[in-house]
Structure 1
Protein backbone atom coordinates (compact mmCIF):
# COMPACT_ATOMS: atom_id res chain seq x y z
CA UNK A 1 0.00 0.00 0.00
CA UNK A 2 1.23 3.50 -0.82
CA UNK A 3 1.24 6.56 1.38
CA UNK A 4 -0.66 9.48 -0.10
CA UNK A 5 0.25 13.03 0.84
CA UNK A 6 -2.48 15.67 0.80
CA UNK A 7 -3.03 19.28 1.77
CA UNK A 8 -4.64 19.82 5.15
CA UNK A 9 -6.75 22.90 5.81
CA UNK A 10 -3.79 24.31 7.76
CA UNK A 11 -1.56 23.74 4.71
CA UNK A 12 -4.08 25.45 2.44
CA UNK A 13 -4.35 28.40 4.81
CA UNK A 14 -0.54 28.66 4.97
CA UNK A 15 -0.40 28.84 1.16
CA UNK A 16 -3.21 31.40 1.11
CA UNK A 17 -1.56 33.52 3.81
CA UNK A 18 1.83 33.54 2.05
CA UNK A 19 0.21 34.52 -1.25
CA UNK A 20 -1.84 37.21 0.50
CA UNK A 21 1.25 38.67 2.22
CA UNK A 22 3.23 38.72 -1.02
CA UNK A 23 0.39 40.46 -2.87
CA UNK A 24 -0.28 42.90 -0.04
CA UNK A 25 3.39 43.95 0.16
CA UNK A 26 3.21 44.87 -3.54
CA UNK A 27 -0.18 46.61 -3.22
CA UNK A 28 -1.80 44.04 -5.51
CA UNK A 29 -5.53 43.47 -5.05
CA UNK A 30 -6.13 39.85 -5.95
CA UNK A 31 -8.25 36.82 -5.21
CA UNK A 32 -6.50 33.62 -4.16
CA UNK A 33 -7.82 30.05 -4.12
CA UNK A 34 -6.29 26.78 -2.95
CA UNK A 35 -7.75 23.48 -4.15
CA UNK A 36 -6.97 19.85 -3.41
CA UNK A 37 -5.55 17.39 -5.94
CA UNK A 38 -9.02 16.82 -7.43
CA UNK A 39 -9.65 20.54 -7.97
CA UNK A 40 -12.09 20.93 -5.08
CA UNK A 41 -11.87 24.19 -3.17
CA UNK A 42 -10.13 24.15 0.22
CA UNK A 43 -9.94 27.89 0.87
CA UNK A 44 -10.30 31.20 -0.95
CA UNK A 45 -9.85 34.89 -0.20
CA UNK A 46 -10.72 38.02 -2.17
CA UNK A 47 -8.67 41.02 -1.06
CA UNK A 48 -10.30 44.39 -0.57
CA UNK A 49 -10.28 46.21 -3.89
CA UNK A 50 -10.06 43.04 -6.00
CA UNK A 51 -12.55 42.90 -8.84
CA UNK A 52 -15.57 40.65 -8.26
CA UNK A 53 -14.73 38.61 -11.35
CA UNK A 54 -11.36 37.62 -9.86
CA UNK A 55 -13.10 35.47 -7.24
CA UNK A 56 -14.25 32.92 -9.82
CA UNK A 57 -11.16 33.27 -12.00
CA UNK A 58 -8.75 32.31 -9.21
CA UNK A 59 -10.77 29.16 -8.47
CA UNK A 60 -10.87 28.20 -12.15
CA UNK A 61 -7.12 28.76 -12.52
CA UNK A 62 -6.44 26.55 -9.51
CA UNK A 63 -8.82 23.84 -10.75
CA UNK A 64 -7.28 23.88 -14.21
CA UNK A 65 -3.83 23.47 -12.71
CA UNK A 66 -4.89 20.66 -10.37
CA UNK A 67 -6.77 18.70 -13.02
CA UNK A 68 -3.98 19.04 -15.59
CA UNK A 69 -1.16 18.82 -13.04
CA UNK A 70 0.47 21.69 -14.95
CA UNK A 71 0.70 25.47 -14.60
CA UNK A 72 -2.33 27.07 -16.26
CA UNK A 73 0.07 29.13 -18.40
CA UNK A 74 0.54 26.04 -20.56
CA UNK A 75 -3.06 26.36 -21.73
CA UNK A 76 -2.80 30.11 -22.23
CA UNK A 77 0.12 29.43 -24.57
CA UNK A 78 -1.83 26.73 -26.43
CA UNK A 79 -4.80 29.07 -26.88
CA UNK A 80 -2.53 31.94 -27.95
CA UNK A 81 -0.96 29.67 -30.58
CA UNK A 82 -4.37 28.70 -31.98
CA UNK A 83 -4.12 25.07 -30.89
CA UNK A 84 -7.21 24.90 -28.69
CA UNK A 85 -9.19 22.40 -30.74
CA UNK A 86 -8.55 19.57 -28.30
CA UNK A 87 -9.69 21.52 -25.24
CA UNK A 88 -13.14 20.56 -23.99
CA UNK A 89 -13.22 22.12 -20.53
CA UNK A 90 -16.39 23.94 -19.53
CA UNK A 91 -14.61 27.20 -18.86
CA UNK A 92 -11.64 28.76 -20.56
CA UNK A 93 -11.29 31.26 -17.71
CA UNK A 94 -9.02 28.87 -15.81
CA UNK A 95 -6.71 28.67 -18.78
CA UNK A 96 -4.90 31.87 -18.04
CA UNK A 97 -1.57 32.16 -16.28
CA UNK A 98 -1.86 32.24 -12.49
CA UNK A 99 -2.72 28.63 -11.62
CA UNK A 100 0.17 26.58 -10.23
CA UNK A 101 0.25 22.94 -9.10
CA UNK A 102 1.54 22.12 -5.64
CA UNK A 103 3.85 19.13 -5.96
CA UNK A 104 5.32 17.33 -2.97
CA UNK A 105 7.84 14.54 -3.50
CA UNK A 106 6.83 14.46 -7.15
CA UNK A 107 3.11 14.01 -6.41
CA UNK A 108 0.31 16.50 -6.89
CA UNK A 109 -1.26 17.49 -3.57
CA UNK A 110 -3.22 20.53 -4.77
CA UNK A 111 -2.99 23.81 -6.63
CA UNK A 112 -3.18 27.53 -6.04
CA UNK A 113 -4.82 30.08 -8.33
CA UNK A 114 -4.42 33.85 -8.26
CA UNK A 115 -6.26 36.49 -10.25
CA UNK A 116 -6.29 40.27 -10.21
CA UNK A 117 -3.07 41.65 -11.66
CA UNK A 118 -1.11 40.88 -14.82
CA UNK A 119 -1.12 37.15 -15.44
CA UNK A 120 2.63 36.78 -14.91
CA UNK A 121 2.23 38.56 -11.57
CA UNK A 122 -0.62 36.22 -10.62
CA UNK A 123 1.73 33.30 -11.31
CA UNK A 124 4.55 34.97 -9.38
CA UNK A 125 2.33 35.25 -6.29
CA UNK A 126 1.30 31.59 -6.53
CA UNK A 127 4.87 30.41 -7.10
CA UNK A 128 6.11 32.37 -4.09
CA UNK A 129 3.47 30.81 -1.83
CA UNK A 130 4.36 27.30 -3.04
CA UNK A 131 8.08 27.96 -2.55
CA UNK A 132 7.47 29.13 1.04
CA UNK A 133 5.19 26.17 1.73
CA UNK A 134 7.70 23.61 0.48
CA UNK A 135 10.52 25.25 2.44
CA UNK A 136 8.39 25.02 5.60
CA UNK A 137 7.36 21.39 4.95
CA UNK A 138 10.92 20.26 4.22
CA UNK A 139 12.28 21.60 7.53
Structure 2
Protein backbone atom coordinates (compact mmCIF):
# COMPACT_ATOMS: atom_id res chain seq x y z
CA UNK A 1 0.00 0.00 0.00
CA UNK A 2 1.25 3.49 -0.84
CA UNK A 3 1.77 6.09 1.88
CA UNK A 4 -1.72 7.51 2.33
CA UNK A 5 -4.32 8.19 4.96
CA UNK A 6 -7.23 6.32 3.38
CA UNK A 7 -7.89 3.18 1.38
CA UNK A 8 -8.07 3.25 -2.41
CA UNK A 9 -10.34 1.34 -4.76
CA UNK A 10 -7.41 -0.97 -5.52
CA UNK A 11 -7.04 -1.67 -1.77
CA UNK A 12 -10.78 -2.28 -1.47
CA UNK A 13 -10.73 -4.80 -4.32
CA UNK A 14 -7.88 -6.71 -2.69
CA UNK A 15 -9.72 -6.74 0.64
CA UNK A 16 -12.96 -7.90 -0.99
CA UNK A 17 -11.17 -10.66 -2.92
CA UNK A 18 -9.63 -11.89 0.33
CA UNK A 19 -13.06 -11.72 2.00
CA UNK A 20 -14.62 -13.80 -0.77
CA UNK A 21 -11.89 -16.40 -0.39
CA UNK A 22 -12.28 -16.44 3.39
CA UNK A 23 -16.06 -16.73 3.07
CA UNK A 24 -15.58 -19.87 1.00
CA UNK A 25 -13.28 -21.36 3.62
CA UNK A 26 -15.71 -20.60 6.43
CA UNK A 27 -18.90 -21.65 4.64
CA UNK A 28 -20.66 -18.29 4.59
CA UNK A 29 -22.16 -16.47 1.63
CA UNK A 30 -21.28 -12.95 2.71
CA UNK A 31 -21.84 -9.30 2.02
CA UNK A 32 -18.47 -7.54 2.17
CA UNK A 33 -18.09 -3.75 2.36
CA UNK A 34 -14.99 -1.58 2.47
CA UNK A 35 -15.09 1.98 3.80
CA UNK A 36 -12.52 4.76 3.60
CA UNK A 37 -11.00 6.70 6.51
CA UNK A 38 -14.18 8.79 6.79
CA UNK A 39 -16.44 5.75 7.01
CA UNK A 40 -17.75 6.21 3.46
CA UNK A 41 -18.34 3.22 1.22
CA UNK A 42 -15.63 2.50 -1.37
CA UNK A 43 -16.84 -0.89 -2.58
CA UNK A 44 -19.33 -3.62 -1.75
CA UNK A 45 -20.04 -7.11 -2.97
CA UNK A 46 -22.92 -9.48 -2.25
CA UNK A 47 -21.84 -13.03 -2.86
CA UNK A 48 -24.30 -15.37 -4.56
CA UNK A 49 -26.76 -16.58 -1.94
CA UNK A 50 -25.89 -13.90 0.63
CA UNK A 51 -28.80 -12.48 2.60
CA UNK A 52 -30.31 -9.31 1.16
CA UNK A 53 -30.91 -7.95 4.66
CA UNK A 54 -27.19 -8.13 5.36
CA UNK A 55 -26.18 -5.67 2.64
CA UNK A 56 -26.77 -2.62 4.84
CA UNK A 57 -25.35 -4.42 7.87
CA UNK A 58 -22.00 -4.99 6.15
CA UNK A 59 -21.82 -1.35 5.07
CA UNK A 60 -22.80 -0.08 8.53
CA UNK A 61 -20.33 -2.40 10.27
CA UNK A 62 -17.49 -0.93 8.19
CA UNK A 63 -18.78 2.59 8.93
CA UNK A 64 -18.95 1.86 12.69
CA UNK A 65 -15.48 0.32 12.79
CA UNK A 66 -14.03 3.54 11.35
CA UNK A 67 -16.03 5.89 13.57
CA UNK A 68 -15.12 4.09 16.79
CA UNK A 69 -11.72 2.78 15.66
CA UNK A 70 -12.67 -0.61 17.01
CA UNK A 71 -13.87 -3.99 15.89
CA UNK A 72 -17.65 -3.87 16.09
CA UNK A 73 -17.84 -7.09 18.07
CA UNK A 74 -15.67 -5.51 20.76
CA UNK A 75 -18.22 -2.72 21.13
CA UNK A 76 -21.09 -5.11 21.87
CA UNK A 77 -20.25 -5.80 25.52
CA UNK A 78 -19.90 -2.12 26.44
CA UNK A 79 -23.13 -1.16 24.68
CA UNK A 80 -25.34 -3.48 26.76
CA UNK A 81 -27.76 -1.92 29.26
CA UNK A 82 -25.19 -2.09 32.08
CA UNK A 83 -22.24 -1.08 29.88
CA UNK A 84 -20.43 2.23 29.72
CA UNK A 85 -21.65 2.88 26.16
CA UNK A 86 -25.30 1.91 26.64
CA UNK A 87 -27.32 3.54 23.88
CA UNK A 88 -24.41 3.63 21.42
CA UNK A 89 -26.39 1.60 18.88
CA UNK A 90 -29.06 4.32 18.88
CA UNK A 91 -26.58 6.95 17.70
CA UNK A 92 -25.50 7.74 14.18
CA UNK A 93 -28.96 7.75 12.67
CA UNK A 94 -29.24 3.99 13.06
CA UNK A 95 -25.96 3.30 11.24
CA UNK A 96 -24.00 2.31 14.33
CA UNK A 97 -23.94 -1.49 14.57
CA UNK A 98 -22.31 -3.39 17.38
CA UNK A 99 -22.60 -6.83 15.78
CA UNK A 100 -19.36 -8.71 15.11
CA UNK A 101 -17.94 -8.38 11.60
CA UNK A 102 -16.61 -4.82 11.35
CA UNK A 103 -12.84 -4.39 11.54
CA UNK A 104 -10.85 -1.16 11.27
CA UNK A 105 -7.82 -1.24 8.99
CA UNK A 106 -4.80 0.37 10.59
CA UNK A 107 -1.62 1.41 8.80
CA UNK A 108 1.19 3.07 10.74
CA UNK A 109 -1.08 3.47 13.78
CA UNK A 110 -3.71 5.31 11.70
CA UNK A 111 -7.18 4.03 10.79
CA UNK A 112 -7.29 4.24 7.00
CA UNK A 113 -10.61 2.47 6.55
CA UNK A 114 -12.50 -0.65 7.53
CA UNK A 115 -14.12 -3.81 6.27
CA UNK A 116 -17.59 -4.97 7.23
CA UNK A 117 -18.86 -8.51 6.72
CA UNK A 118 -22.39 -9.77 7.26
CA UNK A 119 -24.37 -12.87 6.37
CA UNK A 120 -22.98 -15.59 8.59
CA UNK A 121 -22.77 -16.25 12.30
CA UNK A 122 -21.02 -13.69 14.50
CA UNK A 123 -17.95 -15.93 14.53
CA UNK A 124 -17.96 -16.31 10.74
CA UNK A 125 -18.43 -12.58 10.14
CA UNK A 126 -15.66 -11.61 12.57
CA UNK A 127 -13.21 -14.19 11.21
CA UNK A 128 -13.89 -13.33 7.57
CA UNK A 129 -13.54 -9.61 8.26
CA UNK A 130 -10.24 -10.13 10.07
CA UNK A 131 -8.88 -12.29 7.25
CA UNK A 132 -10.04 -9.78 4.63
CA UNK A 133 -8.42 -6.87 6.51
CA UNK A 134 -5.17 -8.83 6.75
CA UNK A 135 -4.95 -8.87 2.94
CA UNK A 136 -3.78 -5.26 3.04
Match of 1:123 among 102, 121, 126: 126
Equivalence for 1:108: 111
**2:78 aligned with 1:85:** no
**2:70 aligned with 1:70:** yes
| Alignment coverage as a number of residue pairs | 131
- 2:95 and 2:12 map into 1 onto residues whose CA distance is 24
**Per-residue deviation at 1:123?**
1.0
Unaligned runs of 5+ in 1: 134-139
CA RMSD of aligned residues (A): 1.7
User: Deviating runs (4+, > 6 A) in structure 1?
Assistant: none
What TM-score do you get using the length of structure 1 for normalisation? Answer: 0.86
- 1:124 and 1:130 map into 2 onto residues whose CA distance is 10
Unaligned runs of 5+ in 2: none
- 1:36 and 1:121 map into 2 onto residues whose CA distance is 23
Contact persistence 1:70–1:101 (CA under 8 A): yes
